[in-house]
Amino acid sequence: MQSQDISGKISNSILSQEEVTILDIRFIRENPDVVKDAVRKKHFECDVDKILELDGKRRSLLLEIESLRAERKRLSKKQREKTADEIRARVVEIKEKLATLETSLREIEAELHYNMLLVPNIPAAEVPEGNSEEDNLLVKTWGTPRTFEFEPKDHLEIAARLKLVDFERGAKVSGSRFYFLRGKGALLELSIMRYALDILIQRGFEPVITPMLVKPSAMEGTGFLPRGEDEAYFIERDNLYMAGTSEVPLVSFYGDEILDIKSLPQHYAGISSCFRREAGAAGRDTKGLYRLHQFQKIEQVVFCRNDPEESRKQHMFILENTETILQGLGLPYRITLACGGECGLPQIIKHEVETWMPSRNNYCETMSCSMIHDFQSRRLNIRYREENGKLTFVHTLNNTGIASPRILIPLLEHYQQEDGSVVIPEVLRPYMGGLEVITPGK
């Protein structure tokens, strides 16, 4: 992994190509090489030439259709004056041809729409090349991994001895990678969630408990479809998806609405259960609490003005919130700048926050912070009116506040004691009824 400035501050010059975020067809038409390079850098499959070809066919059809409609209108006026057989015949001919052309237009527009959904947002120039987390750029570290004076246990052994998690009965009831959090384990998760939520409320975030089921339009609008079908649980009978993050319902909250510019920026803390198939994770990170099908999360979501500087400011703000949460818990972490292949479809830039997990002897991802500009708002048609009356698409951002039970891995392992007990971080004790240590017991 590369390294950059780990002294404690992240560079403010995150984005240098501010004009290349408008991914409408006009932008693709005028900047095909820029879009092709984004496809290459993010390692996606997207045929830009096919999009331009479909766009050309669509424009030609529209011109032909408009020409025929204009002719039909002229002939209709003449027909009222003199009902000549040749005029009537031509009107019928135009009607039949229009029906054929309009059918072709609908087919081409549907194909163009699908291919447009595959076009990734343009990554910032600072985003490093690469296709895996090994290619991410190290930006900052905080805290020192604990040195143990005894042989430390992993979170599975700790949780089993303290009766915090029951995987066997979770599998019996629901299948692999489901679980029961029990007793102090359940209280510990609720305490972490409330602790993180209180920090965000203090910083101006409105708490929102979001729906867990969303329409396909919400998944498509936020960029989780059409590429994310394998990761999402779909309820065919109701045509609804189980959301993998509250980002999906929260960003879709304002779909097809015009916001008051004076209300921006808006900050939300989405509280939800999240569901993911983790279809591509077979044999990888499937043991324990790291990669599960269901988990709880508080997600930071921001709507702000269509201004790259404002987006940059909000990005740093929500990243700082996550750091505050982890520092309060006393858990060592690092921040990396995700390479192109680790950025998703909507991201211009993404920072990953990785917390030290002793049993893995490594930093592992627990949060991710994304700046998206108007990629999602264009899909969802979320706008605001400028002072001059112009309608403009908002910018959106998101970042994990906290996600559990994954965060329990570093917490249990970092605070374990030789006798099998676990010290509760001081900031969580008020939420645990004053309990300071979880000890083995009946």
Q: What is the 3-state secondary structure (H, E, C) of the chain?
A: CEECCCCCCCCCCCCCCCCCCCCCHHHHHHCHHHHHHHHHHHCCCCCHHHHHHHHHHHHHHHHHHHHHHHHHHHHHHHHHHCCCHHHHHHHHHHHHHHHHHHHHHHHHHHHHHHHHHCCCCCCCCCCCCCCCHHHCEEEEEECCCCCCCCCCCCHHHHHHHCCCEEHHHHHHHHCCCCCEECCHHHHHHHHHHHHHHHHHHHCCCEEEECCCEECHHHHHHCCCCCCCHHHCEEECCCCEEECCCCHHHHHHCCCCCEECHHHCCEEEEEEEEEECCCHHHCCCCCCCCCCCCEEEEEEEEEEECCCHHHHHHHHHHHHHHHHHHHHHHCCCEEEEECCHHHCCCCCCEEEEEEEEEHHHCEEEEEEEEEEEECHHHHHHCCEEECCCCCEEECEEEEEEEEEECCCHHHHHHHCECCCCCEECCHHHHHHHCCCCEECCCC
For 416: left if phi > 0, alpha if psi spans -120 to 50, otherwise beta; the answer is beta
Q: Determine contact, residues 370/399, Cβ cutoff 8 Å.
A: yes
pLDDT of residue 283: 55
**The one catalytic residue among 365, 370, 404, 413:** 365
CA 101 – CA 107 distance, rounded (Å)? 10
Which residue do the tokens 């990669």 mark? 291
* CA gap 362, 334 in Å, rounded: 10
Tell me the pLDDT tens digit for each residue of 147-159.
999 999 999 999 9
pLDDT on residue 227: 87
**Residues 295 and 407 sit within 8 Å (Cβ to Cβ):** no
Distance CA 42, CA 198 (A): 36
**Per-residue tokens: 184:** 């102090």
Residue 177: active-site member: no
Q: Is 406 a catalytic residue?
A: yes
pLDDT at res. 14: 35
90 is catalytic: no
- Tell me how far apart the alpha carbons of residues 56 and 58 are, in angstroms, rounded to a whole number: 5
Catalytic residue among 276, 312, 334, 379: 276
pLDDT of residue 2: 60
Q: Are 348 and 121 in contact (CB under 8 A)?
A: yes
Residues 6+ apart with CB under 8 A from 403: 274, 295, 296, 297, 298, 366, 367
pLDDT at 432: 97
Catalytic residue (choose from 247, 312, 406, 413): 406
- Domains by residue range for the chain, with CATH: 47-117 (1.10.287.40), 133-438 (3.30.930.10)
Question: Residue 237 catalytic?
Answer: no
| Residue 276 a catalytic site member | yes
Report pLDDT for 75.
81
Low-confidence stretches of the chain (pLDDT < 50) are 5-22
**pLDDT for 72:** 84
In the set 58, 291, 360, 378, the catalytic residue is 291
Q: Which of 246, 252, 272, 368 is catalytic?
A: 368
Are 379 and 270 within 8 A, CB to CB? Answer: no
